[in-house]
Structure 1
Amino acid sequence: MFKKKAIFTFLRAQVAAFVGGLTDYGLMILFTEIFKLHFSFSILISGTIGAIINFSINRFWVFKNQSGYSSRINSQLFKFALVVLGSISLKSFGTLILQKVFQIDYRIGRLITDSFVSYGFNYPLIKYWVFKIKKEQKAIESN
């Protein structure tokens, strides 16, 4: 039972990441190509918007952690903001390195960087730190 639940949680988290990521990626291209912002700034803006979408989906659907405790959402928002700050920094830096050092187009470099950041940084921190459910809360929610 535990493994099945963990697999479904992981798959739902990937859907949330995909929707937030698609928004993020599309806006990055829009801001870079249409508004002529440097892709690092575009990643900052688009990453923030994508993060808001991702947080909402994760909180209310993936981890179903929408309890009415306002202090809990404040804590989750703060932690999520720290993860997003790290994620945007890693994505910007990784994309810039791939573009400057290896001459990879920023759109491709961003996809490469995202795959590492999403699975190796975002998912573990979001699951085990941002939306971690304490044992006491698990007992209350299962009743």
Structure 2
Amino acid sequence: MFRKKSIFTFLQAQVAAFIGGITDYGLMILLTEVFKFHFTFSILISGTVGAIINFSINRFWVFKNQAGYRNPINSQLFKFALVVLGSISLKSFGTLVLQKVFQIDYKIGRLITDSFVSYGFNYPLIKYWVFRINEKQNIIESN
């Protein structure tokens, strides 16, 4: 039962990340190609918008039925903002390195960087830190 719930939560989180990511990526392309912003600045703006969408979906759908949902939203927002700052920094830096060092188009470099950042940085921190269930809540929920 626990494993099934974990897999379902992981899949839900991936849907949230996908929706936030599509918004983020599309806005990055728009800002860079149409408005001629440098892609690192576009990533900052688009990442912020994507993060707001991602947080909302995670809080109100993915982790809604878990005790972590009852944590104060201010605490979760603060933690999530720190994750987003790290994520945007890693995505901007990774995309820049792939573009400058390896001559990979920023659009492709961003997709490569995103895959590593999403699974290796964002998901673990969001699940185990931002929306973490503490032991007191876990005991209360099980009684």
Question: Normalized against structure 2, the TM-score is what?
Answer: 0.94
Query: Which residue does the alignment assign to 1:46?
Result: 46
- Among all aligned residue pairs of Structure 1 and Structure 2, give the percentage whose two residues are the same amino acid: 84
Query: Which residue does the alignment assign to 1:129?
Result: 129
Query: Which residue does the alignment assign to 2:35?
Result: 35
Q: 1 CA distance for matches of 2:69 and 2:43?
A: 28
> What does 1:1-143 align with in structure 2 at a 5 Å threshold?
1-64=1-64, 65-67=68-70, 72-142=72-142
- Structure 2 counterpart of 1:94, which letter? G
Query: How far off is 1:135 after superposition?
Result: 2.1
Deviation string 1:101-140 (CA, Å, 9 cap, x unpaired) is 0000000000000000000000000000000011222333
What stretches of structure 1 of length at least 5 have no aligned partner? none
Deviation string 1:39-94 (CA, Å, 9 cap, x unpaired) is 00000000000000000000111111443x6xx11110000000000000000000
Query: How far off is 1:30 after superposition?
Result: 0.3
Q: How many residues are paired up?
A: 140
Question: Normalized against structure 1, the TM-score is what?
Answer: 0.94
- Structure 2 counterpart of 1:63, which letter? F
Any conservation in 1 of the 2:69–2:131 contact (CA below 8 Å)? no
Q: Which runs of 4+ in 1 moved over 4 A?
A: none
RMSD after superposition: 1.1
